[in-house]
């Protein structure tokens, strides 16, 4: 995380005075000028503003919200001073996607190679964990040798030669967002609609793909739990994308239970590889299939749903999607033999959590599952904490399943950590009732690009 020691010298003192004054004005309800927002972000990136002052500014924005003009200015400020990918050198249109994250959400690791295997290049800049949700970069670091962050000058050649690129947020791109991203994770501002929107769209402005699909989660395990507010985030991001000339589609997806059965870094890599080999994991694949279809249609609007699904099924069934992932990983430094043998980090211990009674699984609280994984070392309690890439949780049942007393509901996978706390969290996550229930659909709503929604200034 960027952030210097307490400000020293006249330049730092002036920068601190500006951010303190801006925080006070925003707290009082004043609409900030674009130049003021630009200056604050630039000063922080340059190291002239200490973390605690920037955290106060972000918290005030989260509480007061942003006007349309302020949100556009913050998005532009996040991207200012950084590079922009020149995708004109790529043969054909390029598509991008983004998920707001959740528990057991490995969609990026699946849909990017699937769509690339369908012949549509995919450029994806991804990030680390925020809060209790897993970060794609953290998961990818489970693969030995893989370079997870490429310099800007290598991204387009990788995209041209392989057909896909998955890279972390380079300092060359969106430096303002990069500097504040981890700070949001540890300062209670993760769930702010304007800060989420500015962060995501600034990265998309830097990539500027021909098509963009946004996957926004709703439900107990989402950053935005309330469905109405999650839909507001969708409209905010679609409107913001339109302000910058980006063509975007979106899906509102369910996170009322973990998306997939694996929760943890290497565990989720294995889960993604299983899907890429053709296993249609319920819930997880249901969402991935829709996102893949929308990605294909975003650059080929004439493609029917049936035609898109046929292309997707073909690359899964003939192994092309899996081969694409391996080819990309090797191109970014991974050892092919180790990856294909799945020599990934693995926890040495497992502890089962069993059903206390017979009945139907009526609910699985995703935040508790995510927190249990975090307690074992799969996530961060502080921004610079190391990760145990082999740790996590494996779920053996989903909502709607019938279970008997003593059946294994889930397993804790660990070498260390607060196992007692993790077990208590996981036990509390499962609800078992006497009446059968139907699990909610993986996708609640699809937002077409021709809706052209108005930009909505969100507030936390």
Per-residue model confidence as pLDDT tens digits over 103-142 = 999 999 999 999 999 999 999 887 665 555 568 888 999 9
Domains and CATH numbers, the chain: 9-64 (1.20.970), 87-341+443-451 (3.40.1030.10), 349-433 (3.90.1170.30)
pLDDT at residue 7 above 60?
A: no
Q: Is 452 a catalytic residue?
A: no
What pLDDT is attached to residue 182? 72
What is the structure's pLDDT at 348?
Answer: 96
Nearest in space to 414 (alpha carbons), one of 382, 371, 375, 383: 375
Residue 133: predicted pLDDT:
56
Judged against a pLDDT cut of 50, whether residue 328 lies above it is answered with yes
| Crossing angle between the packed helical segments 284-299 and 265-276, to the nearest 10 degrees | 70
Angle at 30 between CA 29 and CA 36, to 5 degrees: 135
Highest mean pLDDT among 102-111, 192-201, 305-314: 305-314
Q: What are phi and psi of 347, to 5 degrees?
A: -70, 145
Residue 37 has pLDDT above 90, yes or no: yes
> What pLDDT is stored for residue 248 in this prediction?
92
Asked if 98 is an active-site residue, the reply is yes
Cβ(134)–Cβ(103) under 8 Å?
yes
**Residue showing tokens 């769930």:** 191
Instruction: Identify how many contiguous H helices and E strands the chain contains and give both numbers.
Output: 17, 13
Residue 185's pLDDT is: 66
Asked whether 248 and 449 are in contact (CB, 8 A), the reply is: yes
Q: Tell me which of 26, 128, 139, 203 is the catalytic residue.
A: 203
Catalytic annotation present for 203: yes
What pLDDT, on the 0 to 100 scale, is given for residue 1?
45
Residue 199 annotated as catalytic: yes
8 pLDDT higher than 70 = no
Whether residue 4 is predicted with pLDDT greater than 80 in this model: the reply is no
Residues 185-205, mean pLDDT to the nearest whole number: 85
Query: Tens digit of pLDDT for each residue in 383-401?
Result: 667 889 999 999 999 999 9
Task: Give per-residue burial for 374-389: e unless 16+ CB within 10 Å, then b.
Answer: bbbbbbbeebeeebbb
Instruction: Tell me the per-residue pLDDT of 38-82, one tens digit each, with 9 for 90 and over.
Output: 999 999 999 999 999 999 999 999 999 999 999 999 999 998 877
Report pTM: 0.87
> Given a cut of 70, is residue 457 above it in pLDDT?
no
| Selected catalytic residue, list 97, 184, 208, 311 | 184
Residue 305 annotated in active site: no
User: Per the residue annotation, which of 51, 105, 172, 177 is the catalytic one?
Assistant: 177
- Quote the DSSP letter at residue 374: H
């Amino acid at each position: 995380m960027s952030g210097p020691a307490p400000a020293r010298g006249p330049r730092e003192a002036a920068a601190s005075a500006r951010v303190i004054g801006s925080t006070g004005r925003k707290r009082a309800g004043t609409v900030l000028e674009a130049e003021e927002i630009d200056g604050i972000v630039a000063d922080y990136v340059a190291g002239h503003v200490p973390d605690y002052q920037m955290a106060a500014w972000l918290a005030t924005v989260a509480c007061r919200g942003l006007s349309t003009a302020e949100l556009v200015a913050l998005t532009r400020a996040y991207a200012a001073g950084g590079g922009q990918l020149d995708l004109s050198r790529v043969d054909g249109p390029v598509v991008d996607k983004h998920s707001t994250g959740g528990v057991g959400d490995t969609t990026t690791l699946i849909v990017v190679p699937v769509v690339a295997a369908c012949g549509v290049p995919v450029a994806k800049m991804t990030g680390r964990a925020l809060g209790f949700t897993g970060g794609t970069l953290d998961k990818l670091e489970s693969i030995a040798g893989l370079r997870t962050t490429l310099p800007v000058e290598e991204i387009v050649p990788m995209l041209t030669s392989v057909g896909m690129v998955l890279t972390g947020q380079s300092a060359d791109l969106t430096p303002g967002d990069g500097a504040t991203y981890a700070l949001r994770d540890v300062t209670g501002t993760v769930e702010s609609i304007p800060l989420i929107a500015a962060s995501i769209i600034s990265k998309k402005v830097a990539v500027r793909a021909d098509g963009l699909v946004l996957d926004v989660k709703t439900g107990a395990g989402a950053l935005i739990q309330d469905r109405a507010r999650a839909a507001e985030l969708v409209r905010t991001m679609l409107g913001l994308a339109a302000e910058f000339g980006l063509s975007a589609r979106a899906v509102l997806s369910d996170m009322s239970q973990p998306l997939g059965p694996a929760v943890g870094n290497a565990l989720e890599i294995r889960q993604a590889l299983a899907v890429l080999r053709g296993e249609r994991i319920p819930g997880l694949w249901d969402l991935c299939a829709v996102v893949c279809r929308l990605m294909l249609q975003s650059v080929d609007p004439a493609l029917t749903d049936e035609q898109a699904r046929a292309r997707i099924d073909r690359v899964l069934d003939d192994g092309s999607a899996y081969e694409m992932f391996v080819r990309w990983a090797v191109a970014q430094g991974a050892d092919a033999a180790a990856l294909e043998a799945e020599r990934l980090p693995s926890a040495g211990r497992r502890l089962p959590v069993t059903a206390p009674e017979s009945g139907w699984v009526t609910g699985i609280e995703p935040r508790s599952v995510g927190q249990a994984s975090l307690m074992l070392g799969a996530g961060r309690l502080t921004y610079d904490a190391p990760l145990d890439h082999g740790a996590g949780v494996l779920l053996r049942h989903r909502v709607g399943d019938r279970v008997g007393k003593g059946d294994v509901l889930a397993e804790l996978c660990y070498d260390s950590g607060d196992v007692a706390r993790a077990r208590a969290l996981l036990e509390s996550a499962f609800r078992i009732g006497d009446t059968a229930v139907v699990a909610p659909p993986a996708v609640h709503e699809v937002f077409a690009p021709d809706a052209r929604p108005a930009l909505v200034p969100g507030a936390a």
